[in-house]
Structure 1
Amino acid sequence: MQQVGPAISGGPQRQGGRVLNRASKRRKADPAPSRWSYRLQRLMLTPLFRFSLRLGVPFALTFSLGLVYLSDEARRTELQDVVAEMRANIEERPEFMVHLMQVDGASEDVASAIHEIISIKFPVSSFDIELSNIQKTIADMNPVSSANVHLQPGGVLQVMVDERQVAALWRTHDGLFRLDKEGVYIGIALDRNNYPKLPILAGDGADAAVVEAQELMATAAPLGSRLKGFVRMGARRWDVVLDRDQRIMLPKDDPVRALERVIALNQVQDVLERDLARVDMRLAHRPTIRMNENAVQELWRIKTTAVKVPDNE
C-alpha cells in the first residue's frame, strides 16, 4: 500500500525550485564596530576631548546660566551690594584698622613734612593704604635718601627714613642752599651760622664737585677762620676764597696738592699775611703772585723816592 503525505527526510527541502536552509536564516553578528561607533571610541581616547568634556562643558553651561542671571540689571546691582557689604565687613574689622603713622630716623622738620605730605585721615583700613605709593612719595623728597614703609602690629604705619646729611652750602643768586656729599639739593639754609664748619660753594657746577670741595676744606684747615669758601670757575677748577679779598687759584688737575704747597709756603714765609690779591697755582711749574693795587702803588712810591746817587761833578 502506498503512503500518502509529505516525505520526511533529513535533507533539504525544495519549494518552488529553491532550496530552503534554516541555518542560512540565522547569520552570525559581525563583531567589528560600526563606523560611527569606531569614530566615537577614537575621539574618547583623545586627551583634549576628554578634558573639554569633563571641564569645558560644565564651565560653558555655568557661564551661560550666569550670563542669563546677570542680564537683569536689578540682579547685578543686588549682587554688587552684597559683595561690597561683605568686603566692608572684612576690611573694617579692628585688626585691620591703622590708627597712626610713626616716622623714625628723620629730623623734626623732615618728620613734619612727611606728615603733611602723607595726609591720611586715621583711623583707616589697611586695605585702603598703598604702601608702595607712600614709600615712593617719601623717597622722592629732597631731604630723604631712602625710605621703608610697613605696617606694625597694633595699627601703626611705620616709616623708616634715611635722611641726607648736609655736606656743603651752595650760594646762588636765589639764596643759600644745603647739599649732601653727592651734590643733591636738600633744602634752603636759613642761617649760615647754623653750619659754621661747612664750606660755602659758589659758581657753575659747584654742586657737582662737593666731594672735591670737602677734600679742599680738610686741606685748608690750617687757614682757620680766614677761609670763606670755594668758587667753581668755568665748571672745571676751584678758587679758594680768603678774607681780605684774597684768592688762591688752583689748577684743574690735583688741586689738593697745589693747595698744600701754598699752605706750606705760608707756614714758612707768611705769604698769605702779605698784601696779596692772588696766588696763582694754575701752572704748577710757575706759581704767580699778584699784589694788591695799594701794594703796587706803595712799591712804585718807594722806588721813586729812593735815594738818588749824586751826579759826578
Structure 2
Amino acid sequence: MSPLNPGRVMPGARDNAAAKRGGKQKRAGRRAMTDREAQAASFIHRRRMQRIRRIGAISGSVVVVVGGLWMWLAGTFTAMADAAPEMVPSISDLSGLTVNHIDVSGINSLEPEEIIIASGVEDGQKLGDIDLDVVRERVESVGWVRAARVSRILPGTIQIAVSERVPYAFWQQKRKLRLIDREGVEITQKDLVHFAKLPLVVGEGAPKHAKALFDIMDSEPALSARVKAAVRVGDRRWDLHFDNGSIVRLPEYGADAAWHRLAAVEGAKGILERDIVSVDMRLGDRTTVRLTPEAAQARRDAEAAAAKAAKALKNNGKG
C-alpha cells in the first residue's frame, strides 16, 4: 500500500514545505516497510535453511548407513580399495603424505632388502605418486615370489605381503642348473647347494611338463623316492634314472599306466634290485629288461652251465 498523499485530499495545499514533508514521510515509510520485509524474509530464509539442513543431515546419515551396508554385502569395499590409488594422489598432495617406512612380510628365503629394491619405492616419495599395481608387478618379477599384495598404511607406510615359491626340483639345461617349483617356474640359479637332495629334470621343455610328471610319480611314493633324475627325450617323453643306476623308459602316451605297472612289477619281483641297465615300458603289451654286461654274461654262463648239465644228465641216462 502506498503512503497517503496530502495533495490528493486538499488541492492547492501542496506547498514546498508540505512537499518536503510528504517526500520525507514517503521515503521514511518505504524504508520502514522494506526493513520489516527484509527481516521477515531473512527469518523465513533461516527457517527454511534449518529445515533443509536437518533433512539433509538425516538423509545423508540414512544414505551412508544403507549404502555402507550394501557395499559391504556386495564386496564393494574391495573394489574401492583397488580404486584407492586413483583417489590418493590428490589427498596426498594436499596433506603432504610421503613414504617413511616399507613393511615386508611373508618372506623366508629372501631378505627384506631384496623386496624393497625390487619394488622401486623410495624413502620420501609421495604416497599419491605410487602405483600399487606397478609395485606388485615389480615384486612378482623376483624369482622366489609367487604372489605379492601391496597396500598403503597411512600416514607413511607401504606394506608388501609376499608369498614365496616352494623349491621342488632342479632343471639342467646346457650345463646350467636352475631351481624350479612344482609348476616348473624358475626360481633362482644361486645358492643351489642348500637344495642338493631335490630331484633333477633335464632337457628342453622339461620345466613345462614337470608338473604332469611329478603328479604321476607322486601316485607311487615309494618308487618315486628312488628317482634321482628325469630326462626329457625329444620333448616327447621321459627317461627316469634310479638310485641304482638303472633307467626306466616311459612311453609318450600312457605314462601313468606304465608307472603303475612298474610299481606292481617291482613289488612282485624287485626288478630294480637286480643288475639291470634299463626297463623299457614304451610298448604297452610288454616290458623289456636289459641287463648289465656283467649280469648278461653271468646269465649266459649260467644258461650254458645248465645246458651242459642237462646234456651230461641225458648222456648218463643213456649209459
Cα-to-partner distance string for 1:150-177 (whole Å, 9 max, x where unaligned): 2102310111223333333212334322
Unaligned runs of 5+ in 1: 1-86
Q: Distance in 2 between matches of 1:222 and 1:181?
A: 19
TM-aligned CA deviation for residue 119 of structure 1 = 4.7
Shift of 1:125: 2.6
Q: Does 1:187 align with 2:188?
A: yes
DSSP-derived class of the 1:209 partner = helix
Q: Structure 2: which amino acid aligns with 1:287?
A: T
After superposition, residues 227-266 of structure 1 pair within 5 angstroms as 227-266=227-266
Q: Which runs of no fewer than 5 residues in structure 2 stay unpaired?
A: 1-88
Letter in 2 for 1:160: A
Task: Give the aligned partner of residue 113 of structure 1.
Answer: 114
Structure 2 counterpart of 1:28? none
Distance 2:178 2:193 in 1: 10
Write the distance in 2 (CA, Å) between the matches of 1:177 and 1:217.
Answer: 21
CA distance in 2, matches of 1:283, 1:115: 54
2:180 is the alignment partner of 1:168: no
| CA distance in structure 2 between the aligned counterparts of 1:164 and 1:225, rounded to whole angstroms | 22
SS at match of 1:279: strand
Kindly tell me: are residues 175 and 112 of structure 1, through their superposed partners in 2, closer, same or farther at Cα, counting changes over 3 Å? Answer: farther
Q: Give TM-score scaled by structure 2 length.
A: 0.61
Give the secondary structure class of the aligned counterpart of 2:155: coil
1:176/1:189 contact within 8 Å kept: no
SS of equivalent residue, structure 2 residue 167: coil
For 1:157, the equivalent position in structure 2 comes to 158
- Post-superposition Cα deviations, 1:58-88, rounded to whole Å, max 9, x if no partner, equal xxxxxxxxxxxxxxxxxxxxxxxxxxxxx9x
With over 3 angstroms needed to count, the CA separation of the structure-2 counterparts of 1:242 and 1:118, relative to structure 1, is same
2: CA distance, partners of 1:265 / 1:167: 28
Aligned residue runs from structure 1 range 25-174, under 5 A: 91=93, 93=95, 96-109=97-110, 111-174=112-175
CA distance in 2, matches of 1:97, 1:219: 53
What letter matches 2:230 in structure 1?
F
**In structure 1, what is the equivalent of residue 268 of structure 2?**
268
Instruction: Point out the structure with the larger helix share.
Output: 2
Looking at structure 2, the residues matched to 251 and 224 of structure 1 have their Cα atoms a distance apart, in angstroms, of: 17
Report how far residue 273 of structure 1 moved.
1.1
| TM-superposed deviation, 1:248 | 1.1
Structure of higher CA gyration radius? 1
Instruction: Give 2:289's aligned residue.
Output: 289
Q: 1:199 to 1:256 in 2, by over 3 A?
A: farther
**TM-score (normalizing by structure 1):** 0.62
**Range that drifts further, 119-128 or 205-214:** 119-128
Summarize the Cα distance change of 1:189–1:270 in structure 2 as closer, same or farther, 3 Å threshold.
Answer: farther
Q: For this pair of structures, how many residues does the alignment match?
A: 223
Q: Deviations over 1:161-219 (max 9, x none)?
A: 233333332123343222223322111263455363x4321122111112212123313
Distance 1:277-1:219 versus aligned 2 partners, 3 A rule: farther
1:136 is paired with a residue of what secondary structure? helix
Post-superposition shift, 1:225? Answer: 5.1
Q: What's the RMSD between the two structures over aligned residues?
A: 2.8
Q: 1:203 to 1:108 in 2, by over 3 A?
A: closer
CA distance in 2, matches of 1:204, 1:220: 26
